Structure 1
Amino acid sequence: MTISTADRRLRVLHIEDSELDHQLIMAQLRRAGLDLELHRVDTLAEVSRALEGNWDAVISDYNLPGFSGLLVLDMLKESKRLLPFILVSGEIGEDTAVAAMRTGASDYLLKKDLARLAPALLHAIEACESERARIEADRELLKSKQRLHELAGHLQTSVEMERAAIAREIHDDVGGSLTALKFDLAWINRHAQDPAVQQRVQSALETVTSAIEASQRIMHNLRPAILEQGLVAAVQWMAARFERRTGIITTMRTSHEQMQLPAGVPLVAYRTAQEALTNVSKHAQATRVHIELSVDSGVLTLELSDNGVGIAAGALAKARSFGIRGLHERAATVGGWVDLSSNSKGTSLILSVPLEADSLDRFGGEDHPAVTHDPSAWGGA
């Protein structure tokens, strides 16, 4: 963007104790075609008041009565205002000029070289406006990211609520109906005299039993009721079930047998382990998996590592690698983060979640409330 007289009238604060030098600078800038208002102040009190005004730039002499241009630059920095600052002086040493530029001055020049002032002023204003635009863009980007994180957290919560509702429906409707049907079939089996009927009933009983087991499995995946026994018990159960299902040797180590964690953290850790084990079974070609669950210095850490083939280079950057992105977003809902490392010898996933300062006092000694309702505990005839 190029600033010209057609764009707007420039308001410039001029800190100068010489009225003659002020007039020379004003004449030089107007000769360059700039439409501007150049306001002169020459005392520290006037500078302090003037800096509260709305200016496009500040031009300051270096040597002033009782203070220097560098002091004005420090005042400008303390005010947190982003304004172009050009230092102009009759005499200025190289060391002083370098110090001014390091402190934040936009430019410096000698009074005998005022022909450079107009281009330097325009360039400084343009650079400052570009910086303001960049800061505003960064601010908007940060807001956008925050909104996306909030949306991701809301979606994660909504998904878990929907899963819990579906699990209740499976238990109350499907599970209840299947259990009642199993009892009826068992009654028919006990009272039937025809062997053919008994055989068909027995076959139907096996089908219903299989359907109940499938419903239990689906319900466990939707709503891990085992979490009511605590995160450690839930991860141990998951690891044992994973080993039975896949044949992959799965070991687990924990720093505490019981952990009382803030709301939401156990479910995030459980889902992270569940997703990681699913990825191991699908892609890793591993023969061993190790899970470590610990609390140290107020941080819950869940680490899951395998001895598989690792993740291909660039796989995590794929546009549709939603699994890993989902883990990051899920961890962020409780203030945590996920670290993933991989090579040809295996993959390691680490979930870290900071806990409240007083959480450590509650580890290892709490009594979990009794489980009064387990949706997976459907009756068998």
Structure 2
Amino acid sequence: MPAPLLPHVLRVLHLEDSAMDHELMLAHLRRGGIEVRSLRVDSEAAFLAALQQDWDVVLSDFNLPGFSGLVALDLLRASGREIPFILVSGEIGEDTAVEAMRNGASDYLLKNNLARLVPAVLHAVEANETRHARERADRELNKSRQRLRELAQHLQTSIEHERAAIAREIHDDVGGSLTALKFDLAWIARHTTDEGVRLRVHSALETVTLAIESSQRIMHNLRPAILEQGLVAALQWIASRFEKRTGITCEVRIPSHAPEWPAGVPLVAYRTAQEALTNITKHAHATRVQIDLSLAGGVMSLEISDNGRGLSQQDLAKAHSFGIRGLHERAGTVGGWVDLSSGPAGTTLILSVPLNTPGDTAPMPTGPGGEPDDPSQWGSL
């Protein structure tokens, strides 16, 4: 095992009232190959003043006039400084030593047996450095996770904006052109006397009608226009379509009075229900689905449950299973979260979103014009 990497000079704060014991301590450290810069203090005031400096380790006697090592340990912890603390005393019982270790001391030694002094100091300093390195790594990891979370949320929002833009273009350009073409073909059918032309026009009308229906279906998938009627209407509509398409009974339960949801929330709720129903269709083998929308304690909850086969841990741990992960990131765009529970009796997915109350001051995301930015709305066409 490689030797620990220690500071070039070990900075030692020594709480000791005996100058002779202090010199003996320094001799042991230097004999162990440690270069030392030390300060000896013997009172509470001097100890507190010395804590304003940087130290690699604190060595402390147990009994001092009007002061004690345990009190010094409490003062060190109260200061917030994370410095290894080693008790070195000529009279320390096992109970006292155990209490000191419980309170955060790194080690304890007897003055009449300093053979362990150097290993104890080296171990305490190395452990402290390792802990600090782990804390720094944890902070960096948390920052990285936060950046990834923000990126994922930005991508989710960007995707919805792109979908809305494409849906508008299909509505305005493709849909408008196809409708105009349908009118022209109908005019030709009314004014021609040639039966062959009439048959070709009717065939073209059927093709145009199918194209219009396809464009409408694509627009609904990209940005459901039903959200213009509100979240409740959108959930009822998607449940009805799901029931007709799959034959699975889908019950929707909604509050008697639905509030005006904050910007972005209806789309997140709709996409969550859409993803859940898609997964149920593909994997659940369910015969019944229930969608519950509720509002309690300022939190909107959307619960989608089924009586299917449930999800195993292997299903949830699939490397390329991004559906549930995407729901978590999507919920985060409006400050919400997703809970998923599954068992032999089926699967339940719950989206929870805290709603702004009159006392809240958190600003909603804004668009280019400074208005609340809601990707679920068409905007000005």
Q: Same-fold call, TM > 0.5?
A: yes
SS at match of 1:112: coil
Match of 2:243 in 1: 243
How far off its partner does 1:82 sit? 1.6
Q: Which residue of 2 aligns with 1:2?
A: 3
Q: Which residue of 2 aligns with 1:171?
A: 171
Where do 1:131-280 residues align within 5 Å?
Answer: 131-280=131-280
Q: Which residue of 2 aligns with 1:369?
A: none
Q: Which runs of 5+ in 1 are unaligned?
A: 361-373, 376-381
Counterpart CA distance in 2 for 1:87 and 1:324 is: 53
**Distance in 1 between residues matched to 2:155 and 2:269, nearest whole Å:** 17
Say whether residues 1:124 and 2:124 are aligned partners: yes
The one-letter amino acid paired with 2:27 is A
More moved, 38-47 vs 153-162: 38-47
Q: Could you tell me the TM-score, scaled by structure 1's length? A: 0.90
- Residue aligned with 2:349, SS: strand
Equivalent residue letter for 2:4? I
1:182-207 deviation per Cα after TM superposition (whole angstroms, max 9, x unaligned): 11011111112123322222222122
Relative to structure 1, is the Cα distance of residues 224 and 257 closer, same or farther in structure 2, using a 3 angstrom cutoff? farther
The equivalent residue for 2:334 is 334
Matched, 1:111 2:118: no
Q: Determine whether 1:88 maps to 2:96.
A: no
Secondary structure, aligned partner of 2:112: helix
**What CA distance in whole angstroms lies between the structure 2 residues aligned with 1:61 and 1:75?**
15
Measured after TM superposition, the shift of residue 4 of structure 1 is: 6.7
Task: Please give the per-residue CA displacement for 1:196-227, whole angstroms capped at 9, x wherever unaligned.
Answer: 32222222212211211111111111112222
Identity of counterpart residues, as a percentage?
A: 68
Q: How many residues align?
A: 361
Secondary structure in structure 1 of the residue aligned to 2:335: coil
CA distance in 2, matches of 1:344, 1:3: 53
Amino acid at match of 1:301: S
CA distance in 2, matches of 1:258, 1:75: 56
Q: Bigger CA drift: 269-278 or 63-72?
A: 63-72
Correspondence 1:286-325 to 2 at 5 A: 286-325=286-325
Root-mean-square deviation over aligned CA pairs = 1.8
Aligned to 2:363: none
CA distance in 1, matches of 2:312, 2:264: 32
Q: Report the TM-score when normalising by structure 2.
A: 0.90
Partner residue, 1:31: 31
CA distance in 2, matches of 1:173, 1:354: 39
Counterpart-to-counterpart distance in 1, 2:46 and 2:288:
75
CA–CA distance in structure 2, aligned partners of residues 333 and 231 of structure 1:
17
Structure 2 segments unaligned to the other structure (5+ residues): 361-376
CA distance in 1, matches of 2:351, 2:359: 18
CA contact (8 A) 2:13 2:40 kept: yes
Q: Deviation above 4 Å: which 4+ runs of structure 1?
A: none
The separation in 2 between residues aligned to 1:80 and 1:359, in whole angstroms, is 36
Q: Which amino acid aligns with 1:55?
A: W
Q: 2: distance between equivalents of 1:342 and 1:169?
A: 41
